[in-house]
């Protein structure tokens, strides 16, 4: 089990390059089996969630190879419709495979998916949507079995705008018969990226980025090469780090529009933030002011995947902040660890009241999910003294070379293998 040792109190200066978005790449990999021609994903980050998804593709019979940073997927010989339970348990996005596996093989079998433990994370909307498209679903012994002669387009109204359910229904419908309309669809930029990738393969998907998505079924898809959008959550994590530690950094390969809600908050708390081309700049001299209220919402609201990092920032801000987590039930597991570092936080249900303190101090803390782990690392960078963060397997799910990128910015952080 790896851990970070962090010597806190250093300001951050320099430039950091952002990877392709984890949450864009995962559905693209699921989509790659919709064709038996070759697919090439440029700049495909070798983070743990992506490597697990690649392993799932291999188990289905695809050939996957890395050519430098590019991942090539050849699914001409794919023949298996079962996603192995060990991998499904490891990775929640394995459920996105359901739609594309049914589309390719007319059946699919998957164990109930896992992922970070941040709440109930049901998949009822995925299953209801697939049923609307004519898929028969039986659930037995922890497995979901799906079968269908042919996907038939239909109107699907989502009870809430789920990212994964929207993507899964698009993936199932893209080679179906007729037109599918998804209403109350999620609007996250990663869904628009999936649309652009599918359309590059010959699909007819429209409206992603709005609450109504239209998929006109086509009979076949061909191979494609594609560069996914930058990771807005990784970019946001570095911007928050600079706001907490002070300094001036340039975040390259970033899309300011996609994290406008964060940039707005950072400006409110006295950071100077500006964007040009594909770069976002932040300068932060003084202790940040409190963000007052951070309430997570579906896109374009404040992303739940930056809530933990913003909670860490609020710990060292001037004043009090109310953090409201609207998406996931148990997404405050980083709070007891922040309290070990001297933070003053009270949690009630889905809300946390954070009273800013003069300084956090170093402590031994444990990460129990991906973004919570990143938040504890940022807290360690801003704290006085030394902090140890274990277990890095969560952080490695979503950040490639996190410590190298932070070290390049002047942070004192090293990884220890134990």
Binding residues: 22-23, 92, 121-125, 305, 327
199, containing H or E segment: helix 189-200
Stretch that binds ligand UD1, among 32-40, 54-62, 121-129, 338-346 (CB under 6 A): 121-129
Q: Which stretch binds ligand UD1 (CB under 6 A): 55-63, 120-128, 218-226, 260-268?
A: 120-128
Of 100, 162, 192, 311, the residue at the interface with ligand UD1 (CB under 6 A) is 162
- Rounded CA gap, 29 and 42, in Å? 12
Q: How far apart are CA 136 and CA 100, in angstroms?
A: 15
The answer for residues whose C-beta is within 8 angstroms of residue 113's C-beta and 6 or more apart is 88, 89, 91, 92, 93, 94, 95, 123
* 224-226, strands of its sheet edge to edge: 63-67, 70-74, 38-41, 224-226
Query: Which burial class, exposed, middle or buried, applies to 142 when counting CB atoms under 10 A from its CB (0-12, 13-18, 19+)?
Result: exposed
Residues 6+ apart with CB under 8 A from 253: 17, 18, 19, 230, 278
In the window 386-405, what residues touch ligand UD1 (CB under 6 A)?
Answer: none
Query: Is cis: bond before 300, omega within 30 of 0?
Result: yes
Does 26 engage in binding with ligand UD1 (CB under 6 A)?
yes
Q: Work out how close the CB of 286 gets to ligand UD1 at its nearest, in angstroms, rounded to a whole number.
A: 31
Residue 122 beta carbon to ligand UD1: minimum distance, rounded to whole angstroms:
4
Q: Cβ of residue 284: shortest distance to ligand UD1, in angstroms?
A: 26
Taking CB under 6 A as the criterion, which residues in 245-304 touch ligand UD1? Answer: 304
Contact 175, 34 (CB under 8 A): yes
Residue 116 annotated to the active site: yes
Residue in 19, 23, 253, 261 binding ligand UD1, rule: CB under 6 A: 23
Cα-Cα-Cα-Cα dihedral of 204, 210, 212, 213, to 10°? 20
**Contacts with ligand UD1 in 300-329 (CB under 6 A)?**
304-305, 327-328
Contact in structure between 33 and 104 (CB atoms under 8 Å): yes
User: Among all residues, whose Cβ is closest to ligand UD1?
Assistant: 164
Least Å from the CB of residue 29 to ligand UD1: 11
165 part of the interface to ligand UD1, by CB under 6 A: yes
Contact pick of 14, 15, 76, 122 for ligand UD1 (by CB under 6 A): 122
In the set 163, 201, 259, 392, which binds ligand UD1 (CB under 6 A)?
163
**Distance (Å, whole) CA 78 – CA 35:** 10
Spell out, one character per residue from 67 to 106, where the chain touches ligand UD1: x when CB under 6 A holds, - when not.
-------------------------xx-------------
- CB contact set of 244 (below 8 Å; sequence gap of 6+): 284, 288, 312, 313, 316, 378, 379, 381, 382
* Min CB(10)–ligand UD1 separation in Å: 29
Which candidate in 44, 116, 245, 315 is catalytic? 116
Residue 241 tokens, joined: 């780090």
User: Measured from the CB atom, is 120 or 418 closer to ligand UD1?
Assistant: 120
34, 219 contact by CB (below 8 A): no
Contacts with 225 (C-beta within 8 Å, 6 or more apart), sequence order? 39, 40, 42, 200
The interface mask with ligand UD1, positions 173-212, x = CB under 6 A, is -------------x---x----------------------
Number of chain residues interacting with ligand UD1 (CB under 6 A): 22
Q: 123 vs 382, which CB is nearer to ligand UD1?
A: 123
Q: Are 170 and 198 in contact (CB under 8 A)?
A: yes
Known catalytic residues are 116
Enumerate binding residues for ligand UD1 (CB under 6 A). Answer: 23, 26, 92-93, 120-126, 160, 162-165, 186, 190, 304-305, 327-328
């Amino acid at each position: 089990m790896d851990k970070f040792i962090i010597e806190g109190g250093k300001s951050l200066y320099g430039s950091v390059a952002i990877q392709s978005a984890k949450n864009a790449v995962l559905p693209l990999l699921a989509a790659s089996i919709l064709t038996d021609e070759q697919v090439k994903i440029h700049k495909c980050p070798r983070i743990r969630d992506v490597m697990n998804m690649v392993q799932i593709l291999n188990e289905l019979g695809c050939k996957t190879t890395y050519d430098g940073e590019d991942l090539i997927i050849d699914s001409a010989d794919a023949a298996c419709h079962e996603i192995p339970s060990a991998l499904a348990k490891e990775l929640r996005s394995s459920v996105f495979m359901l739609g594309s596996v049914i589309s390719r093989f007319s059946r699919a079998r998957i164990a109930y998916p896992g992922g970070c433990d941040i709440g109930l994370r049901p998949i009822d909307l995925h299953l209801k949507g697939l049923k609307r498209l004519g898929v028969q679903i039986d659930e037995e012994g922890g497995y979901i079995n799906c079968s269908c002669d042919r996907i038939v387009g239909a109107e699907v109204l989502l009870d809430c705008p789920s990212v994964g359910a929207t993507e899964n229904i698009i993936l199932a419908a893209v080679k179906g018969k007729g037109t599918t309309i998804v209403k109350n669809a999620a609007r996250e930029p990663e869904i628009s990226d999936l649309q652009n990738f599918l359309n590059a393969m010959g699909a007819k998907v429209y409206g992603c980025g709005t609450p109504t998505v239209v998929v006109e079924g086509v009979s076949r898809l061909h191979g494609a090469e594609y560069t996914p959008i930058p990771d807005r959550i990784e970019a946001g994590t570095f911007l928050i780090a600079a706001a907490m530690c002070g300094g001036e950094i340039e975040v390259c390969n970033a899309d300011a529009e996609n994290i406008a809600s964060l940039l707005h908050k950072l400006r409110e708390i006295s950071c100077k933030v500006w964007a040009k081309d594909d770069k976002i700049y932040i300068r932060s001299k003084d202790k940040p002011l409190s963000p007052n209220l951070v309430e997570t919402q579906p896109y374009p609201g404040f992303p739940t995947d930056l809530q933990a990092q913003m909670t860490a920032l609020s710990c060292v801000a001037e004043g009090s902040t109310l953090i409201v987590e609207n998406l996931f039930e148990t997404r405050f597991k980083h709070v007891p660890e922040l309290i070990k570092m001297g933070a003053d936080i009270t949690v009630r249900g889905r809300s946390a009241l954070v009273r800013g303190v003069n300084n956090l101090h170093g402590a031994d803390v444990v990460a129990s999910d991906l973004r919570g782990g990143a938040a504890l690392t940022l807290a360690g960078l801003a704290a006085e003294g030394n902090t140890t963060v274990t277990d890095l397997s969560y952080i490695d799910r979503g950040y490639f070379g996190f410590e190298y990128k932070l070290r390049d910015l002047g942070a004192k952080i090293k990884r220890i293998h134990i």
